[in-house]
Amino acid sequence: MSTNKGKERDEREYFSKDEGSQYSLHGILPPLGATARTNRRAKLSRCVISPFNPRYRIWQSYLVLLVFYTAWVSPFEFGFLDRPRVPLAVIDNVVNAFFAVDIVVTFFVAYLDKTTYLLIDNPQLIAKRYAKTWLVLDIVSTIPSEVARAILPPHFKTYGYFTILRLWRLRRVSAMFARLEKDRRYSYFWVRYSKLICVTLFTVHFAGCIFYFLAAHYRDPTRTWFGAATENFREQSLWVRYVTSMYWSIVTLTSIGYGDLHPVNSVEMVFDIFYMLFILGLQAYLIGNMTNLVVHGTARTRQFRDTIQAATGFAQRNQLPERLQEQMLAHLCLKFRTDSEGLQQQETLDALPKAIRSSISHFLFYSLVDNVYLFRGVSNDLLFQLVSEMKAEYIPPKEDIILQNEAPTEMYILVTGAVDLIRKANGVEQVVGVVNTGDVFGEIGVLCYRPQPFTVRTKRLTQLLRLNRTAFLNIVQANVGDGTIIINNLLQANLQSLETNFC
């Protein structure tokens, strides 16, 4: 029983808490209608860790931090150092040790089979898959460069090439960004921006280091991009050499190309050609992403402006009276504001299944509807069903909700705010009543099916619950007893007014 509970909690975690684990579903979703075809194991075997284990996730995040260090240090060592130097060499080996531990750990982490979408926890299969895919590259990129120098023939520039191999670890950063983009705890915009900035900075750094490497190892130092501009550039301080390399790299990347530094020999030209081709794609990628974010970020405001413009144009063209124009604009502005607040109530609710929607309505409106005089004494069942059909709405001040003589299609419950009942006689509007919070209006028209006797106009910002006539009647018809109670409630409350109007 407890293991079952544990499993359920696990699944739950995949869904609601740990949004980053976008693969988790794959192991769970069976094909449609396939009761007997899949044979999912209920529990991972001992000693094997789930890839969605929170502690394993933290370990992975920590390794990503180390990768950022590697991404900076590997090109730097390749370009500017000929052999291990003290502070960096020590840190490098500590970092290598962590990645060595991760190689061992990976043998005990279950994986998802891409074809069957099952979580595989057989240690043999895990080992086989790892051996087939990334094991060799992981091991090679973990060998300390001192060891490599000792083993390999000396004329190999092994130090540099070995450090460059460590960039293999960058795949982890890429995977991390793909995960963060789908994680609702982080802003999509900032994740994208960070990714673009990381890619750009790494490109600049990497190309700068390679450029320096080419200049430093060319047979004729004066025929290099650095030597042609600065004599004896190798005797400059490390800081000046590094800054100059970065400077050239970024002058090229931004396609500014002042020209004070430029490739001189064929080798540099060839590297620069490839760098420039890459830049062409990178620039387009940066711009494409930025455009995407700008378009997405301004969509709502643009849409609002279009609506407002169309409404204003329509009103002016047809010379609508001032009051109607103001009502139109106030309504549209209010709608946009409630939407841009991130509510977008209706769309959000519509995307949910009926049961959740009902629960929400019940939570928000039940106690309110329960106190309405019309529903005094009716069964809980009916109230529950009515509440599910209600829609909340905000209405700006001075807007007409119901017009006198209109065919009745909706009734309303006032949640907050205030509305006036207005009767027009001989062209003069006269306020004949006020609706209080928690009162219902429009019910006489709906229940007796006759034109609305009053115009109803908001006095201030008002929140209403709207109930459609057809939905209301359908529910009441299925609960005959309750229907009678409602009619009685109506008659008692409106006896006088109904007598004069004859329902």
CA end-to-end span of the chain? 62
Q: How far apart are CA 486 and CA 370, in angstroms?
A: 13
Distances (CA, A) of 119 to 104, 110, 115, 135: 19, 6, 11, 20
Q: Is 475 in the site for a copy of itself (CB under 8 A)?
A: yes
The residue from 48, 105, 199, 251 that contacts a copy of itself (CB under 8 A) is: 251
Q: Is 26 in the site for a copy of itself (CB under 8 A)?
A: yes
Q: Is 247 in the site for a copy of itself (CB under 8 A)?
A: yes
Q: Cβ 168 to a copy of itself, closest distance in Å?
A: 23
Burial of 132 from C-beta contacts in 10 A (0-12 / 13-18 / 19+): exposed
Q: Is 434 in the site for a copy of itself (CB under 8 A)?
A: no
Footprint (CB under 8 A) of a copy of itself, residues 378-417: 380-381, 384-385, 388, 392, 394-403, 405-407, 409-410, 415-416
Contact letters for a copy of itself, residues 284-323 (x by CB under 8 A)? xxxxxxxxxxxxx-x--xx-xx-xxxxxxxx--xxxxx--
Q: Is 88 in the site for a copy of itself (CB under 8 A)?
A: no
Q: Is 253 in the site for a copy of itself (CB under 8 A)?
A: yes
Q: How far apart are CA 361 and CA 386, in angstroms?
A: 10
Q: How far apart are CA 156 and CA 118, in angstroms?
A: 45
Residue 432: closest CA among 501, 383, 490: 501
Pick 292 or 492: Cβ nearer a copy of itself: 292
Question: Long-range pairs for 356-360 at CB < 8 Å and ≥24 separation?
Answer: 357/388, 358/384, 358/387, 358/388
Pick 171 or 460: Cβ nearer a copy of itself: 460
Residues 6+ apart with CB under 8 A from 438: 368, 371, 372, 413, 414, 415
Q: Is 198 in the site for a copy of itself (CB under 8 A)?
A: no
Pick 103 or 201: Cβ nearer a copy of itself: 201
Contact status, residue 42 vs residue 10, Cβ threshold 8 Å: no
Pick 48 or 329: Cβ nearer a copy of itself: 329
Q: Cβ 500 to a copy of itself, closest distance in Å?
A: 17
By CB under 8 A, how many residues form the interface with a copy of itself?
Answer: 156
Backbone angles phi, psi at 122, to 5 degrees: -70, 115
Pick 115 or 496: Cβ nearer a copy of itself: 115
Ordered alpha helix ranges (H), 35-144: 54-80, 86-106, 123-132, 135-140
Q: Is 8 in the site for a copy of itself (CB under 8 A)?
A: yes
Footprint (CB under 8 A) of a copy of itself, residues 256-275: 256-260, 262-263, 266, 269-270, 272-273
Footprint (CB under 8 A) of a copy of itself, residues 37-66: 37
Q: What is the DSSP letter of 81?
A: -
Pick 340 or 492: Cβ nearer a copy of itself: 340
Structure tokens of 166? 């460590």
Contact letters for a copy of itself, residues 344-383 (x by CB under 8 A)? xx-xxx-xxxxxx-xxx-xxxx--x-----------xx--
Q: Cβ 104 to a copy of itself, closest distance in Å?
A: 31
Q: Cβ 172 to a copy of itself, closest distance in Å?
A: 20
Q: How far apart are CA 434 and CA 457, in angstroms?
A: 10
Q: Cβ 161 to a copy of itself, closest distance in Å?
A: 24
